[in-house]
Amino acid sequence: MVLDRWLPRRIGFGVDIGGTGIKGAPVDLAAGRFAAQRIRATTPSPSTPDAIADVVAEILEGFGRDAGRRPIGVTFPAVIQHGVARTAANVDDAWIGTDVDRLLAGRLDRPVHVVNDADAAGVAEARFGAARDVRGVVIMTTLGTGIGTAVLVDGRLVPNTELGHLEIGGKDAEARAAGIVRETEKLSWEDWAKRLQRYYRKLEDLLWPDLIVVGGGISKKSDKYLPLLDLRTPIVPATLRNEAGIIGAATLAAELR
């Protein structure tokens, strides 16, 4: 894929590494949208560092040599501390302790900035989506197989907050209120909303946010449960949805050059 027609614009690149798929796309950093159709590949099994690095390289090669001259932002399902993976969710445990920044930068021969996947989505929503131009404290939660969180203060990311692990009723919040829990326990929207109510009220009492943004696939059905919540904080669905991780990662990589 040749990107010459997009070169006059400010273009970044983002890659989203997940447990089942790895996706990449060029990003128009002024508009906050893809500058070309994304490329997706299946996450290898086992999902070791070298195996995933090979797939990321293949995806970028699909966009031609222009991709190689730009910093790459990469999301990863883990706590990322100064480029190093401290946990691993839905990928091989061999990632724990791996300097992901160094590994991918060496394999791709270009600058790389790796960020937690929920953090990347939060940055995208703050720059281009539901939290754009919101001052103060913004909390984004992604309700899926777990609860991912991102916290931003005046648009600046506070990384690796992991607020899905708050204790609610003696359990991790994500064990009680994640999107998959509603499905596996066959909860009605009303019963699930009661669990979300306890979780979001806890977030309110701890951080006093100015806005809460709800992401994840379940955000498409936000009309089923958000109106059932009684919070003092405005709570809205995310707008960028599945594109948020790639957009946020590309944005951070460009900002940190």
Write out pLDDT tens, residues 44-93: 999 999 999 999 999 999 987 656 567 899 999 999 999 999 999 889 99
- Distances from the Cα of 10 to the Cα of 33, 115, 134, 220, 255, angstroms: 12, 21, 24, 30, 12
Strand extents, DSSP E, the chain: 11-17, 21-28, 33-34, 39-42, 72-76, 80-81, 84-85, 112-116, 137-143, 147-153, 156-158, 167-168, 171-172, 211-215, 235-237
Enter the tokens of residue 138.
Answer: 């913004």
Give the confidence band of 3 by pLDDT, cuts at 50, 70, 90: very low
| Count of C-beta atoms within a 10 Å radius of residue 20 | 9
CATH architecture group of domain 4-119+243-255: 2-Layer Sandwich (3.30)
Task: Please tell me the number of Cα atoms within 13 Å of 38 on its side-chain side.
Answer: 21
The 10s digit of each residue's pLDDT in 163-185 is 999 998 899 999 999 999 999 99
Give the per-residue pLDDT at 4.
42
| Residue 245 pLDDT exceeds 90 | yes
Cβ atoms of residues 245 and 123 within 8 Å: no
The 10s digit of each residue's pLDDT in 127-143 is 999 999 999 999 999 99
Rounded Cα distance between 27 and 249, Å, is 10
Give the per-residue pLDDT at 218.
92
Give the per-residue pLDDT at 1.
44
Rounded Cα distance between 164 and 175, Å, is 9
The 10s digit of each residue's pLDDT in 141-164 is 999 989 999 999 999 999 999 999
The 10s digit of each residue's pLDDT in 111-122 is 999 999 999 999
From-to residues of CATH 3.30.420.40 in the chain: 4-119+243-255, 130-238
- What's the mean per-residue pLDDT of the chain? 93
DSSP state of 179: H
What CATH code is assigned to 130-238?
3.30.420.40
Task: Please tell me the number of Cα atoms within 13 Å of 3 on its side-chain side.
Answer: 28
Handedness of CA 238, 244, 247, 251 (dihedral sign): positive
Rounded Cα distance between 14 and 243, Å, is 10
Rounded Cα distance between 252 and 152, Å, is 13
Q: Which residues contact 256 (CB under 8 A, 6 or more apart)?
A: 71, 113
SS (H, E, C) 185-213: CCCCHHHHHHHHHHHHHHHHHHHCCCEEE
Rounded Cα distance between 108 and 60, Å, is 9
DSSP state of 237: E
Give the per-residue pLDDT at 119.
98
